[in-house]
């Protein structure tokens, strides 16, 4: 049995860890976690030869327009497409002077080098603090070689805080390799909107 290895070498706690496999190169893994002390999500690249490199995602660079709010990234989720790109989904949470949230939005960063760097980030589906809290995203890619939607990216999450009919489960799709995302509600709009947690299943979606 091999010993445990500290791949992040970061101080303080890491939480909500997520790991994914590159199906085009099964010796490459990419993982993510919350960095509690650093106010960010961290992405760790684990290449074939056993080296560990870190490509950092900084949700904190994203200000809430017109405010001086602080913000942090949370809830990492990752997936590879068939071209070797890795997509890192997370939520961005904005806080004002107190402890209550002023808003949340979804973010998906794309790496074209297998998870070593993440130069591109798409932000979407902002909800104000008075509205619903975007939470618990899960991401996947359509990797079916015969699918007409091959390499489309799907991310699902819940926006159910508050329990009104305007909340519910949301799904966003990107057909341009993570540049933009279009979202829709996928649970019953006549329901209470209290669903929590969502899972994006890896199959072709229309």
26-84 pLDDT tens trace: 777 888 887 766 666 666 665 544 455 555 555 555 666 666 666 778 888 999 999 99
Cα(32)–Cα(19) distance, integer angstroms? 6
Whether the pLDDT of residue 204 is over 50: the answer is no
Average pLDDT estimate for 145-172: 83
Average pLDDT estimate for 106-131: 86
Average pLDDT estimate for 110-132: 84
| Residue 31 confidence (pLDDT) | 83
**pLDDT tens per residue across span 175-188:** 999 999 999 888 76
| Residue 192 confidence (pLDDT) | 58
The whole model's pTM is what? 0.84
Cα(112)–Cα(116) distance, integer angstroms? 8
Q: Residue 68, class by beta-carbon neighbours within 10 Å (0-12 exposed, 13-18 middle, 19+ buried)?
A: exposed
Beta carbons of 90 and 121 less than 8 angstroms apart: no
| Residue 203 confidence (pLDDT) | 46
Under the banding of pLDDT at 50, 70 and 90, the label for residue 205 is very low
User: Percent of the chain scored above 90 by pLDDT?
Assistant: 26
**pLDDT tens per residue across span 4-26:** 777 767 777 778 888 888 888 87
Q: Is the pLDDT higher at 54 or at 156? A: 156
Average pLDDT, the chain: 78
């Amino acid at each position: 049995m091999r010993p445990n290895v500290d791949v992040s070498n970061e101080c303080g706690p890491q939480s909500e860890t997520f790991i994914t496999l590159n199906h085009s190169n099964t010796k490459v893994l990419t993982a993510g976690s919350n960095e509690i002390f650093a106010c960010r999500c961290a992405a760790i690249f684990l290449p074939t030869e056993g080296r560990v490199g870190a490509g950092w995602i900084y949700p904190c660079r994203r200000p809430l327009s017109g405010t001086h709010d602080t913000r942090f990234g949370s809830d990492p989720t990752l997936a590879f497409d068939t071209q070797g790109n890795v997509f890192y989904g997370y939520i961005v949470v904005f806080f004002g002077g107190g402890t209550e949230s002023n808003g949340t939005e979804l973010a998906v960063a794309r790496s074209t080098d297998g998870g070593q760097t993440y130069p591109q980030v798409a932000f979407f589906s902002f909800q104000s603090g008075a509205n619903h809290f975007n939470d618990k995203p899960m991401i996947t890619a359509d990797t079916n070689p015969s699918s007409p939607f091959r390499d489309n990216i799907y991310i699902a999450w819940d926006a159910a805080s508050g329990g009104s009919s305007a909340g519910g489960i949301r799904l966003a799709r990107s057909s341009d390799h993570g540049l933009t995302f279009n979202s829709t509600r996928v649970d019953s709009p006549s329901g209470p909107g209290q669903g929590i947690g969502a899972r994006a299943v890896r199959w072709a979606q229309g």
